[in-house]
Each structure stands twice: as C-alpha cells, then as structure tokens.
Copies of this chain bind each other. A is one copy, B any other.
Amino acid sequence: MTDWNLFDRPAPLVNMASRSFLRLGERRVKPHGFSIGQLPVLYLLRDGKAMSQRDLARAAKVEQPSMAQILARMERDGLIQRTPMPGDGRSQLVSLTKAAKAKMPAARKALHRNQDHALAGFSAAETATLLDLLRRLNRNLDRMVAEEVEVGEAVEA
C-alpha cells in the first residue's frame, strides 16, 4: 500500500538507471579494451597529464582503494604507467601509455553514439531539468554521506 511498486521511488529508479547505464557503457567500451570504471582516469589523464593515485581518486570521486584497484587493472592491461613522484617516496605519478591513448578516440566515439539515446524523447528543457534535479539530489546525498561519517567518527572518539 505505502510502496505499491517496489521501483517507484527515487533510490530504486536511480539504481536501475545506473545499472542500465553501466551495462550499456560496458558493452560499448569493452570491445575497445577499456571498461567503464576506467573512463574517469582516461579522461583525467587524456592529454599526457600525470597525477597521483590520491588525486585521481579525489577527482573521480571514488575511495582510494577503489582507485587502487582500477589502476591495478589498467596497469595489468597496459593502459597506464607509473613513475616515481619526485620528492615524495610514498607516491607515484600515473600516466597513460601510448597504447591507451591510441585506443581512446574509437572508444570515445562508441560511447558518444550510445550516449543520449537514453534521453530520446526528452526536450532540451526536460534534459536540463533532469540534470538540475540530479545535481541537487547529489548535493543532498553527499552531505548525508559526509555527515554520517562524522557521526561515526565522533562516536568512536
């Protein structure tokens, strides 16, 4: 009665959409030797830039161990290389290999073809509204996630 349909609330709808995006994206990008989680890294390092793991994690908005795993797989697949960070023995600079850079344009195109098919039937205004509402939703969620961590830590202390 209260939730007559399991999926007719924000969290499940968002979750479904996310899973679909991931499935579709994976199909597009996999034939080119990439996978979805690597896209932020590819994007961030695209024109020869080099960054630390920490900065990559921050910029991609994932936790450090998640980024570590992504980078491990990318290294395994010959997509990145690491060089020591000058002046800090703890850190390394990560950059794309030539192979990765060579394969990017095709993958990019494949994704572009895919992208925004999802928004078929949406007017420009509706698309803008959706993006705006999602940004606001994310602001709320980010705050909630952060707050709870604080609480958690406060309890510990």
Contact = CB atoms under 8 A, between A and B. Distances in A.
Interface in A35-89: 40, 43-44, 59-61
A21 B15 CA distance: 8
A59 to B, nearest CB: 7
Contact of A21 (B8, B61, B141): B141
A128 to B, nearest CB: 11
B133 A130 contact: yes
Contacts of A15: 18, 21-22
Interface residues of A, number: 53
A17 B134 contact: yes
Q: How many copies are assembled?
A: 2
A24 B144 contact: yes
A19 B19 CA distance: 11
B140 A6 contact: no
Nearest to A7: B61
A79 B121 CA distance: 43
A155 interface: no
A51 to B, nearest CB: 13
Nearest to A21: B11
* Pairs A-B, 7 closest by C-beta atoms: A20-B141, A18-B18, A13-B134, A11-B21, A130-B133, A14-B17, A15-B18
Interface of A: 3, 6-11, 13-25, 27, 40, 43-44, 59-61, 114-122, 126-127, 129-131, 133-138, 140-142, 144-145, 148
23 contacts: A8-B135, A10-B21, A10-B116, A10-B118, A10-B130, A11-B115, A11-B118, A13-B131, A14-B18, A14-B134, A15-B18, A15-B21, A17-B18, A17-B141, A18-B19, A20-B145, A23-B145, A24-B148, A27-B148, A117-B144, A118-B137, A118-B140, A122-B136
